[in-house]
Structure 1
Amino acid sequence: MKQYFLYYTEANIMCLVIFGVMLVHDLLNASRQEKQIKFDNALLAFMVYFAADCVWTAVEAGVLPRTLSSVVATNFANCIFMSLITYSWLRYVMAVEAAPHRERLLNKIAVNFPFLVSVIGLVAVYLAAPQALLSPALELKPLYYVFFLAVPYIYIIAIIIYAVQRLRHEESPDERRKHCFVGFFPLIVILGGLVEILINQQLPVFCFACTVLMLIFYLQSMERQISLDPLTGLNNRGQLLRYVAQKSNARPDGRMTFVMMLDVNDFKKINDTYGHAEGDRALILLSDTLKHVAETMAQRSFLCRYGGDEFVLILHPAIPGVVERVAETIREELRQAEEREGLPFRLTVSIGFSPLMDEPDTLQSCMQRADEALYENKRSSKRTEAAG
């Protein structure tokens, strides 16, 4: 038994257990959205690879018989499962980046094609000319590593392309960081694998690199779940309370501060008449509009879904008059979204806002005044409709 066997196997088992804990926690989550399912598939792919790597180590260390069959089986399994890791991560990135038509049959075939060709090609080469992959001493030849790395790099390039495309059109710093992380994550993992292959195969660099990066990503994902509204992706009410509680957010850099509150007109009627799916669609369209307006018109702002069909936008404009223009732009962009999407209902909002006064005024008091202004705007709109 070689000395590294126990250490290498313990490292893989430890990483396998950590991934298993993450997977079980995800499976127990009541909300099973597409992104979460694809992430769990990636976790499973890593776990299968770690398990196969333990068997490979046992064969290489002489714990299990090092025969032609065992060498071929363990190395071929590692090659296939490495491709499976990058394939599953590509599917996850396509879900995160909302790649269009990703569930179409033709797109699924295109994504699966490199993986299937690689597996079939590897088996075909071995059956036709095994000496091209293995020496008489059962040592791997360079052609094996071509198969081992070719498909993962094809998927990595596709992942980076998806992420960069979204990165180029994204203005939010938080979203840009997300695109960078999901896009370049597999490249860092593969670099860890290359270090292990080229420098010292007895060091479990790959499994440690995978585990550290996946833990970081998982913790960030958990933080987003805690702080973000799952439907709209906006900050949730808890984040708003934390934001309001920080005095430094009241007048950042000496700027003016306004609290704007919005809600969807006749939202209950939309739900009752067209169903909750259309109600969710209305909320998503409104949240997308608010994000776009806040990012393009306000240098500093905080946006959240307050609850139900209510939203809060805290603005810190550098010049007067911005808040009124923001309200007008929100209404205009909603009108355009309604026409563009061909909605079967009117999508309009009531808006109320209030400035933050000098101390002892607080953001909490300002929110109350904005809420009162919102309902006054709603009552005024209904009186106008009744008179018309």
Structure 2
Amino acid sequence: MGYEFYYIEAHLACFFLLGIILFKIIKGVNKDLSTVYLGNIVFVTMLYFIAEIFWALVDSGIINNTKPLLYLSNIFTYLLISVDAYLWFILSETLQKGKLVENDIARLLISIPVWISAILCISAYRTGLVFYVDENNVLVGGNLYLILIVVPFGYLFAASAKAFYRALDKDRYAERGMYFMIGVFPFMPVILGVMQAMYWRIPFLCYGIVAAVFYAYITQTENLISLDPLTQLNNRKQMFRYLAKKMREEEPGMSLFILLIDIDHFRTVNEAYGHLEGDNALIRVSDAIKDACQGPRSRFFVSRYGGDEFVVVAEMSYRAEATWLADQIRNNVKRITENFGTNYDLSISVGIAQYDYETPISLQAFIARADSDLYKQKKIN
């Protein structure tokens, strides 16, 4: 029994494992852009495994290893692995809310290395620039073979470098797990890919790819669990986790604040216009809060606390900054009626509490202080 049996067996096993993930993605209720991209990656990877099986059948002689078939089997594998890496870069940019992939032209420009790689592969039969079959019917790398390696690795390392840079940023605590996943993703495929390059008839790479995809799928699923499904803000559980960490670690020169935000008379919106319009109002208010919290320092953690309440955890130098932020949020919410032409006015009340590291209190007591201030603001209004 030759190597081809074990090679094909490994790729079939990996194919069916990824098939399970693809089935879960297709059947899942979440259809956001990042999930769609991940599904595309899984699908292309499964095609890549089929191409590897085809290559093994040709290389081993089970299928007559004619010169055209040798070319064809290698074209599929190199082309699909480049497309896979490109899709991963697009997914990583989407998860990191990058501006590079927001329009079709930008995505087309980013895909140029894939098109170059594809043209070189398809034309190899005539040019032999990236690979050719010698007189002994053996595939040999051409003068430009390195391009076929640099293209997929380039996409992977570019995504990884950007993600690690962001993961090290203290102000991006909430997304750190996602950034770390993007950064680590290439390690297994690259390490096992190098091993397969050394022992090219041992199927190391397929296991590395499957491990990386499973890691990405699990991390993305966990990330979805940490988000409020309606507003896509961090949920209450994530807010508690983040706030507890900040209460333990004082940032020099900064003070820790909570802004507890409540929509005034929200029940009347639900009663008068229905729960669907109530949901739209919650989404618009959450967007207004996020817009107010945009800034170069990004020291704001925005979350939905429950119902019509939101929480912003903010690190600022002075209480006046927290008051200013509350005013910005109020103004953004007031503009909702004008911007969306709603038949009702929206307003909010904001309670502010500042944490004193010299006299620590519990997380619940800290939130209660903000709630007490919120109650006072409502009475004033």
Name the CA distance, whole Å, in 1 between partners of 2:305 and 2:6. Answer: 51
In the alignment, is residue 214 of structure 1 matched against residue 213 of structure 2? yes
After superposition, the C-alpha distances for 1:277-305 in whole angstroms (9 at most, x for unaligned) are 675243134146558699648xxxx8631
- Tell me the CA shift for residue 206 of structure 1: 0.9
Partner of 1:331: 326
After superposition, the C-alpha distances for 1:83-134 in whole angstroms (9 at most, x for unaligned) are 1111111221221222326243322321232222221222223124599611
In the alignment, is residue 155 of structure 1 matched against residue 155 of structure 2? yes
Partner of 1:105: 104
5+ residue gaps, structure 1:
382-388
- Tell me the CA shift for residue 37 of structure 1: 0.6
Which secondary structure state, in structure 2, belongs to the residue aligned with residue 311 of structure 1?
A: strand
- Tell me the CA shift for residue 187 of structure 1: 5.7
Label 1:155 to 1:259 Cα distance change in 2 as closer, same or farther (>3 A).
Answer: closer
TM-score (norm 1): 0.75
Partner of 1:189: 189
Partner of 2:199: 200
Partner of 2:51: 52
- Tell me the CA shift for residue 33 of structure 1: 0.6
In the alignment, is residue 286 of structure 1 matched against residue 280 of structure 2? no
Label 1:145 to 1:138 Cα distance change in 2 as closer, same or farther (>3 A).
Answer: farther
Contact 2:193 2:204 in 1 (8 A): yes
Which secondary structure state, in structure 2, belongs to the residue aligned with residue 262 of structure 1?
A: strand
Q: Which moved more, 1:213-222 or 1:57-66?
A: 57-66
- Tell me the CA shift for residue 213 of structure 1: 2.0
- Tell me the CA shift for residue 235 of structure 1: 3.3
Name the CA distance, whole Å, in 1 between partners of 2:288 and 2:30. Answer: 21
Percent identity (aligned): 25
Name the CA distance, whole Å, in 1 between partners of 2:324 and 2:205. Answer: 50
Root-mean-square deviation over aligned CA pairs: 4.5
Contact 2:58 2:70 in 1 (8 A): yes
Name the CA distance, whole Å, in 2 between partners of 1:165 and 1:64. Answer: 47
Contact 2:70 2:139 in 1 (8 A): no
- Tell me the CA shift for residue 367 of structure 1: 4.7
Number of residue pairs matched by the alignment: 367
Name the CA distance, whole Å, in 1 between partners of 2:174 and 2:240. Answer: 20
What are the within-5 Å matches in structure 2 for residues 16-165 of structure 1? 16-100=15-99, 102-129=101-128, 133-143=132-142, 145-156=145-156, 158-160=158-160, 163=163
Name the CA distance, whole Å, in 1 between partners of 2:70 and 2:97. Answer: 41
Name the CA distance, whole Å, in 1 between partners of 2:193 and 2:208. Answer: 8
Q: Which moved more, 1:92-101 or 1:281-290?
A: 281-290
Name the CA distance, whole Å, in 2 between partners of 1:115 and 1:243. Answer: 40
- Tell me the CA shift for residue 173 of structure 1: 3.4
In the alignment, is residue 171 of structure 1 matched against residue 171 of structure 2? yes
Point out the structure with the larger helix share: 1
TM-score (norm 2): 0.76
Label 1:200 to 1:254 Cα distance change in 2 as closer, same or farther (>3 A).
Answer: closer
Contact 2:166 2:172 in 1 (8 A): no
Q: Which moved more, 1:46-55 or 1:257-266?
A: 257-266
What are the within-5 Å matches in structure 2 for residues 4-15 of structure 1? 4-15=3-14
- Tell me the CA shift for residue 188 of structure 1: 4.8
What are the within-5 Å matches in structure 2 for residues 318-357 of structure 1? 324-325=319-320, 327-334=322-329, 344=339, 349-352=348-351
Label 1:44 to 1:131 Cα distance change in 2 as closer, same or farther (>3 A).
Answer: closer
Q: Which amino acid aligns with 1:63?
A: I
Name the CA distance, whole Å, in 2 between partners of 1:123 and 1:92. Answer: 27
Partner of 2:374: 374
